[in-house]
Amino acid sequence: MAHEIIGEWDVALSQKGESVPLGRLSFFEKEGRLVVVDSDPEVGGSPADVESDGDTLRFEILGAGTSRGATRHVFEVTMRGHASFTGTRRRGMLARVPVAAQRVIDPLDALAGNLAGAKAKAAEAAARAALAAAEAAAAQAEAEAAEAIEAARRAAQKAVAARAAASTPSAATPLVVPSEVLAIIPAPAQPAAVDAPPAPAGAA
């Protein structure tokens, strides 16, 4: 957990809502130990051990020398993800003050990260475009299927109407009575005979 801090960090002092840069610290491994050193060549100093107490890291940095000698700066910090840490710094016997730091990103790493981000965005855009194309194709296929179903329905209606017309006899078609039916129909009755009136008297 403590080795996540390995790298260079820009440290700033938080004072009355303002950030005052303190310098750059570099954390690395030396002979199996985690150490830290001020990156400012004017400050110099030998690497100091970094002690770990759970999530808290503690280390001391010697400040620039004065007539009274070097000043000890005691830091107690906690990682806040991969790119930052926060904590306190105590200068000599003074009270602790809050500090915060941001990881220094190597330009090549930043470029690689930007390229990776661009590739991810391009892949996401391509996926959205493919999804939109698939949805459009599905909508087109659905519309074509609906048109085909409607055409089939109209054709079925026409076929039903044609069958109905074919099965209904036309009024102009003469009615043909089978001979078997004629055989059982009785013949029409003959009219009764009417007697002739008597001849008038004196007729020769």
Q: Do 37 and 25 form a contact (C-beta atoms < 8 A)?
A: yes
Residue-level pLDDT at 7: 94
Domain harbouring 94, CATH code: 2.40.128
Among 104, 135, 154, identify where a domain stops.
104
Look at residue 180 and tell me if it is in a domain.
no
Contacts of 203 by beta carbon, 8 Å cutoff, 6+ apart: none
23 inside domain: yes
pLDDT of 19 higher than 90 = no
Q: Please answer whether residues 36 and 27 qualify as being in contact, where contact means their C-beta atoms are separated by less than 8 angstroms.
A: yes
pLDDT confidence tier of residue 201, bands split at 50, 70 and 90: low
Say if residues 75 and 89 touch (Cβ distance below 8 Å). Answer: yes
Say what the pTM is: 0.50
In a domain, 110, yes or no: yes
Give the rounded percent of residues in the chain with a pLDDT score beyond 90: 30
In this structure, the answer to whether residues 95 and 7 fall within a common structural domain is yes
Whether residues 31 and 92 share a domain: the answer is: yes
What is the model's pLDDT at position 99? 96
Query: Comparing C-alpha atoms, which of 196, 149, 38 is closest to residue 48?
Result: 38
Which pLDDT band, with edges at 50, 70 and 90, does 18 fall under? confident
Is-contact 89 73, C-beta < 8 A? yes
Check: CB of residue 10 under 8 Å from CB of residue 104.
yes
91 shares its domain with 116: no
Domain co-membership, 34 together with 111: no
Paired sense of beta strands 84-91 and 18-30, if any: unpaired
Is residue 187 one of the residues assigned to a domain? no
Asked if residue 156 and residue 140 are part of one domain, the reply reads yes
The answer on 63 and 113 residing in a single domain is no
Q: Per-residue pLDDT for 35 more than 60? A: yes
Per residue in 94-137, pLDDT (tens digit) is: 889 999 999 998 776 556 556 666 677 878 888 888 888 889 89
Share of the chain above pLDDT 70, in %: 70
- How many residues does the structure list for the chain? 204
Reported as half-sphere exposure (CB side, CA atoms, 13 A), residue 11 has a value of: 28
Q: Where are the alpha helices (DSSP H) in 18-93?
A: none
pLDDT score at 74 = 94
Both 91 and 154 in one domain: the answer is: no
**pLDDT score at 115:** 65
Q: What integer pLDDT is reported at residue 30 of this predicted model?
A: 92
Same domain, 56 and 114: no
End-to-end CA distance of the chain: 164
| Residue 10, domain member (yes or no) | yes
Q: What pLDDT, on the 0 to 100 scale, is given for residue 51? A: 95
**What's the pLDDT at 149?**
92
Domain that holds residue 9: 2-104
Question: Is the pLDDT reported for residue 198 higher than 70?
Answer: no
Mean pLDDT of the chain: 81
67 vs 189, residue with greater confidence: 189
Distant-in-sequence, close-in-space partners of 144: CB < 8 Å, separation ≥ 6: none
119 in the same domain as 92: no
73 and 112 housed in the same domain: no
Task: Decide if 78 is inside a domain.
Answer: yes
Q: Do 14 and 65 reside in the same domain of the chain?
A: yes
Predicted local confidence at residue 88, as pLDDT: 96
Domain co-membership, 28 together with 50? yes
Q: Give how many domains the chain has, as a whole number.
A: 2
Residue 190 lies in a domain: no
User: Rounded to whole angstroms, how far apart are CA atoms 75 and 50?
Assistant: 10
pLDDT (tens digit per residue) in 61-73: 887 655 456 788 9
The owner of tokens 């440290």 is: 11
**196 domain residue, yes or no:** no
User: Residue 197: pLDDT band by 50, 70, 90 thresholds?
Assistant: low
